[in-house]
Structure 1
């Protein structure tokens, strides 16, 4: 099972590692192709037993409570992206010379196997933050150009459905996580972007170097463009290290004036100096900054990256503008909730790490910041030092709030801090009330926690909902 397409799955013994959103569809697809499928899963709870029963009814073998042992005769392992590379199952596969693919690799190998269905090129997006927004912006731009497309991968339609379903696509906008890229060795995109690199998921990858290396896999074998962030040298370094197709170009995006082979911003206009006839002397207007929703700096960067990938695919300038105008961001991503007594309340609950929070804080001039939650091993000194000049006040919630409080004491000792010694869901109402007390007209109360939510809420969506509800209650009492 080298790098080529697998055309005959009949009787091949494939082990699928993990039930869940990628494992169950992979098992069904492989079984349908004629493979002998065994699913192994660490957990043995009621949900797993329910999924196992449904698969066993199809003729798939399922082993619950034992995800460590490689089944006898396995010729290929297909893993859920979240399974760590050092698990005993993968070490056993390596010793036995058995390849390990992720769901993305499986989808990549299955392109072109549906008779009469065109093989759609992939435009890929990865990075620590902004992946989902950029991929959705890209899909919106491609649709505005009249192309049949979908946002897939880590979001939206599953890649297996996109590749094997009846719906014909001209091109796919593919969001990829570092986990997915780790297990996708033969993926070769038309063009790809790495938006940024900051420490994240280091417990999974083992080091920042390994994390960056997995992100950089998205550039391997690119055909037309490797899109990088001019402000983040590490992304450009990954382009330099990539082995790409002859003629593939490095394309930068910047919030400043673009040089040749870059997209950037001049006088409130998004400018293309990469995909024009004479890029040394001419430039193409694509859209206005006001066409980007919301026009926060990091979101303009997302829009430029999406535009670069779309332009690499030959999309005309007007489609970039129309696609950006048509795009609306998902909930809890710098979402303006309400204005109360001249103060804006903004929900960026999706800012679950320091890099995302810093981008969010950079979008506003005078802020009362609501922060805290599960730190996931993060440190906050750099974030606080860079953002201190914007802070009117800070309200801290959550299990690891002391880490942020200590960073504030070191780098912003003059900023008033309210430390709420609570991790119950009702703490959000008190946090919003305290923030309102600290805020002055013209300020922004910003929920950008820089932490995960699971100490207090089921997920960041629930945390954002609680914030919005608290703001509505505040407004009702105003």
Structure 2
């Protein structure tokens, strides 16, 4: 952070990450200048690039030395030495690439935190699916063992909000937007956990190959001291990491699942049938957690039983409750077709109406359509920007596969269609397989709306437990 002093610095984005970066930079500027009173609190000018809708919120700060601009052009971006951008802004946008060619460095708050906190023992967790549950479950078990632990990052709290925090272990969830930022910091995580790799966020990364490259940069660029990897994932199992010790989970000689039981090599350790997270994939995440704990040099077998007291996270196959014979399940965080298929697997054997569709990132839904021919639910309701494309793929299967297919203009209409199709018996499953951009601010807002439409209190069911330091 101190190295930014004297440089021309701008912020790009004014979501929670952007606001956290602003607060951290202002705090650093005060420390650098030695300012003590309110008049001198902001000794340096700072430029913020944000959307017009965000500009009013930023102006409300009353910071006279904050210049707010609503157009991030190549010329304006190139006028700065460093641009601290929010994770949702792709560095592959043409204006960012052109400014970078002129010498502007683009970094994220994740880079700043890691570079400022080389003292922290970090366990970084990423993966296309399961990273949030894995992160929260790891923090839960570490705390159960008496260790002061931070749970932060992509799960819902920017790292920079905890810049001055103290913890024995830092469990940091990273999206594919943030993994490369760890490598840029120059700091090596103590442990990195990767759950799996499937195509996602192609609009941000530009291609599937770049998505995989960016995701794996947590391993290949950040060079963690120990990498905990899923042996069942073909992309991960093909890796050759020379700079990290590798611990595999999902393999017979390590932590793995046999039926409902977690094993450590040839020893049965934990029966997962009472684990408060649905689906075999979530039980597999427990194997990743235990392998990470072992990588930290702790007794994983002793901590494993505490998984029974874990509280499942909202928006992840979250059972909201039952109304008029219908069970409502909120899986709003599902943003890939693979995740939607995993959700259907959890409710195999039950009458299910699944709601799919949202922002179109160009992902291939053919595998989902093929699966509907083999093991169809009672009904599929499509909606959102890519709803018509998904609907067209499913039409032939609906005619021959025995499931109802409907199209809705919005989530409210989709829920109403599902109710009518199930006729008082079954599961209304929101597992969209796509982001919420356009219709909602984020997946959480979409999940809250679904809860309200189903007749449940969004405030009572959507708080994420455990975030922060405890």
Measured against the shorter chain, the TM-score band is 0.7 to 0.9
Contact persistence 1:435–1:445 (CA under 8 A): no
Other structure's SS at 1:22 match: helix
CA distance in 1, matches of 2:412, 2:175: 33
Other structure's SS at 1:30 match: helix
What is aligned with 1:95? 101
**Residue 24 of structure 2 corresponds to residue 18 of structure 1:** no
Q: Report the number of matched residues.
A: 437
What is aligned with 1:290? 273
What is aligned with 2:46? 38
CA distance in 2, matches of 1:181, 1:412: 40
CA distance in 2, matches of 1:455, 1:63: 22
Match of 1:423 among 409, 414, 417: 409
CA distance in 1, matches of 2:56, 2:440: 26
Contact persistence 1:271–1:284 (CA under 8 A): yes
Match of 1:311 among 266, 269, 294: 294
CA distance in 2, matches of 1:87, 1:467: 32
What is aligned with 2:167? 169
CA deviation after TM superposition for structure 1 residue 205, in Å: 1.0
Superposed CA offset, 1:358-394 (max 9, x none): 1111223224232233251233220232354432421
Superposed CA offset, 1:63-103 (max 9, x none): 34345334677333322122222345533543343432211
Other structure's SS at 1:287 match: strand
Higher relative CO (CA 8 A, sep ≥ 6), structure 1 or 2? 2
Contact persistence 1:285–1:317 (CA under 8 A): no
Gaps of 5+ in 2: 33-43, 457-470
**Residue 340 of structure 2 corresponds to residue 357 of structure 1:** yes
TM-score after normalising by structure 1: 0.81
What is aligned with 1:179? 177
Farther-moved stretch of structure 1 (365-374 vs 133-142)? 365-374
CA distance in 2, matches of 1:457, 1:76: 31
Other structure's SS at 1:433 match: helix
Contact persistence 2:148–2:169 (CA under 8 A): yes
CA deviation after TM superposition for structure 1 residue 177, in Å: 1.0
TM-score after normalising by structure 2: 0.82
**Aligned CA-pair RMSD:** 3.0
Contact persistence 1:123–1:192 (CA under 8 A): yes
Superposed CA offset, 1:427-467 (max 9, x none): 1442232342395xxx6443322234456656544544455
Other structure's SS at 1:81 match: coil
Superposed CA offset, 1:242-295 (max 9, x none): 4524xx12x2222xxx322x320135321223xxxxxxxxx4544221243224
CA deviation after TM superposition for structure 1 residue 351, in Å: 1.8
Match of 1:447 among 421, 425, 430: 430
Residues 451 and 32 of structure 1: CA distance in aligned 2, closer, same or farther (over 3 Å): closer
What is aligned with 1:81? 87
**Residue 248 of structure 2 corresponds to residue 252 of structure 1:** yes
Contact persistence 1:381–1:411 (CA under 8 A): no
**Residue 213 of structure 2 corresponds to residue 205 of structure 1:** no
Residues 420 and 455 of structure 1: CA distance in aligned 2, closer, same or farther (over 3 Å): farther
Contact persistence 1:362–1:387 (CA under 8 A): no
Residues 415 and 459 of structure 1: CA distance in aligned 2, closer, same or farther (over 3 Å): farther
What is aligned with 1:369? 353
Q: How does 1:315-334 map to 2 (within 5 A)?
A: 315-334=298-317
Residues 415 and 193 of structure 1: CA distance in aligned 2, closer, same or farther (over 3 Å): same
Contact persistence 1:145–1:315 (CA under 8 A): no
Residues 267 and 398 of structure 1: CA distance in aligned 2, closer, same or farther (over 3 Å): closer
What is aligned with 2:233? 232
